[in-house]
Structure 1
Amino acid sequence: MQKELQFLEEQDISPTLLAQVEAFRQEYPADEAALQRVNRPNIPFYGKEILEMAMAALLQGSNLLLSGAKATGKNILAENLAWIFGRPSYNISFNVNTDSSTLIGTDTFRNNQVELRKGSVYRCAEEGGFGIFDEINMAKNDAASVLHATLDHRRMIDVPGYERIDLHPATRFIGTMNYGYAGTRELNEALVSRFLVIDMPALTKENLYRIIRHDYPKIKEEALDAFGGLFLDLQEKADNSEISTKCMDLRGLLSALGAVKIGLTPWQAVQMGIINKAFDIFEREIVSDMAMTRIPEDWTRENVF
């Protein structure tokens, strides 16, 4: 197993799965032209059971759907899986403007002739990439028709108006979805049947602390308990529907710690990274009171690092 994947061995991932991943990487090396898309994630994914389920699904040729609440690590897991398998990754975010031409490509005029400017799904199919469909339950009808063809067991895309596209043997697609967000809708049975589904559990204290220590190894234990504890408090309040999920922002927490490392006071950093993301005044007061119980206003950088 390559040195960069030692975090898998540290989590005691099944040796059988690790051996099969290694064989997959050797059988399907990434094309040199696509190497710039084989990107190491900023944050490793921690969670032995989820990793093993995801790796097994991809190894046996299935596509994967990651569902769950905010801050459960869906996108982090998707990015890590592409890196683990050594594949170029293409991130496709679905919104009201995402249509078939966004995914497959569109005609463009080049060198005095009409050529197809290939979209992310087309390139992913050709290069054996991992396509990450972010917020797949926001896909509109035009884009959904491409998804049905792309994810079919026949592993080819046959969309009217385009030539037939055969999927590379290493190509996989990973969908992510937050259930109940504005603009989302139910996925129909035909689309769901094209995936194996993992329901992402809430972030545990152990894994949260691992993530924080990964980015900030010199953080003091008291500060780790304060910042990590604040996130877990917010997670519990959100689970109980006492606050929205706006402030339960792992990226915001890590960015706040980065601002503290630069020289900002911890209280100012938490205001920007967490508190001010609640635009409702009542909710902001609740989150502010929660932060105050964890992070004293007179703390300085030296209390954290």
Structure 2
Amino acid sequence: MGMNEPVPGLAAGAVEGPWYHPTGNEVALFEQCHARGLAVMLKGPTGCGKTRFVEHMAWKLGRPLITVPCHDDLAASDLIGRFLIQHDGTVWQDGPLTRAVREGAICYLDEVVEARQDTVVVLHALTDHRRILPIDKTGEVLQAAPGFQLVISYNPGYQRMLKDLKPSTRQRFVAMDLDFPPPELEARIVQHESGVDQAAANGLVSLAERIRQLRDRGLAEVPSTRLLIAAGTLMASGIPLREACYAAIVSPLSDESSMVDALRDLVDATFV
């Protein structure tokens, strides 16, 4: 989903929204934050369902959703907007954040710490009682429309080793900790999303549980629920079980030969 692709909510006539199975009280907490104009920070490992959760909540609340994948080169102008040169002069084009502020949309900044720090600072005036967005290039000061909400996400386990949000930024958000679901629930999610039977879903989750124990033994990233769904999707389409696991789980996790061999052994031991 690109930064210029809003996801329609109920107001746009959606009948069935993105499927999400709660693991705690995150739905009620998000609803209360939205009703009171509080910004939300989602913390959790890669592939645990943060993006799907935001998509589901936008649908449930009937708000359009604008998603921005953050990266090292993301500048403030990429969020706010810029002047474009046309044949008859220059014209201002709103960025995704400005569009969300004007339209009362939910703006979701995915992996926000990947963005430059000077870019993150432009969010501050939107995350307190002012709820404004100053646009220096046009002289406008936008008041956030009703329904606007700022949501950010990041992976604290990964980012802590590289970079992190400043305390002055973190304390502007209500933080919600998301993690991989309990095994029984994760198996139901894998079964629902991929189409495999219950036994296969249970096996994939059991494999993930074993691999996740290697987090501090040379494995930088552990298998996400997203990877399990990918493996299940391959299996449901006719790819042999082990081949699906090798392609969708083992290979994405490591290139180091001894670790790959260990992961393959876990696959073979799980699906005997």
Q: TM-score range by the shorter chain?
A: 0.7 to 0.9
SS at match of 1:164: strand
**In the alignment, does 2:218 pair up with 1:202?**
no
**Is the 2:34–2:147 Cα contact (8 Å) retained in structure 1?**
no
Superposed, which structure 2 residues align to 1:140-289 within 5 Å?
Answer: 140-162=116-138, 163-181=140-158, 184-217=162-195, 219-238=196-215, 241-277=216-252, 278-289=254-265
SS at match of 1:187: coil
What do residues 27-63 of structure 1 show as CA deviations (whole Å, max 9, x unaligned)? Answer: x984xxxx4999932x413223222222222222201
User: What are structure 1's unaligned runs of at least 5 residues?
Assistant: 1-27, 297-305
SS at match of 1:168: coil
Once residues 38 and 172 of structure 1 are traced to their aligned partners in structure 2, the CA distance between those partners, rounded to angstroms, is 23
What do residues 214-251 of structure 1 show as CA deviations (whole Å, max 9, x unaligned)? Answer: 2245x33322221121122223332xx12425351322
**Is the 2:37–2:149 Cα contact (8 Å) retained in structure 1?**
yes
**In the alignment, does 2:30 pair up with 1:54?**
yes
- The alpha-carbon distance between structure 1 residues 216 and 248, as it changes in their structure 2 partners (threshold 3 A), is closer
**Is the 1:257–1:269 Cα contact (8 Å) retained in structure 2?**
yes
- TM-score in terms of structure 1 length: 0.78
- The alpha-carbon distance between structure 1 residues 96 and 221, as it changes in their structure 2 partners (threshold 3 A), is closer
- The alpha-carbon distance between structure 1 residues 78 and 282, as it changes in their structure 2 partners (threshold 3 A), is same
Once residues 157 and 37 of structure 1 are traced to their aligned partners in structure 2, the CA distance between those partners, rounded to angstroms, is 30
Runs of 4+ aligned structure 1 residues displaced above 6 Å come to 36-39
- The alpha-carbon distance between structure 1 residues 92 and 79, as it changes in their structure 2 partners (threshold 3 A), is same
**Is the 1:256–1:270 Cα contact (8 Å) retained in structure 2?**
yes
- The alpha-carbon distance between structure 1 residues 119 and 39, as it changes in their structure 2 partners (threshold 3 A), is farther
Size of the aligned set, in residue pairs, is 261
Matched AA of 2:238:
G
2:108 to 121, 132, 136: 132
1:266 Cα shift? Answer: 1.0
Once residues 169 and 96 of structure 1 are traced to their aligned partners in structure 2, the CA distance between those partners, rounded to angstroms, is 31
User: What are structure 2's unaligned runs of at least 5 residues?
Assistant: 1-8
- TM-score in terms of structure 2 length: 0.86
Structure number with greater CO (CA < 8 Å, separation at least 6) is 2
SS at match of 1:137: helix
Q: Identity, % of aligned pairs?
A: 21
Once residues 257 and 30 of structure 2 are traced to their aligned partners in structure 1, the CA distance between those partners, rounded to angstroms, is 40
- The alpha-carbon distance between structure 1 residues 111 and 83, as it changes in their structure 2 partners (threshold 3 A), is farther
1:86 Cα shift? Answer: 1.2
**Is the 2:10–2:60 Cα contact (8 Å) retained in structure 1?**
no
- The alpha-carbon distance between structure 1 residues 101 and 160, as it changes in their structure 2 partners (threshold 3 A), is same
SS at match of 1:248: coil
**Is the 2:48–2:224 Cα contact (8 Å) retained in structure 1?**
no
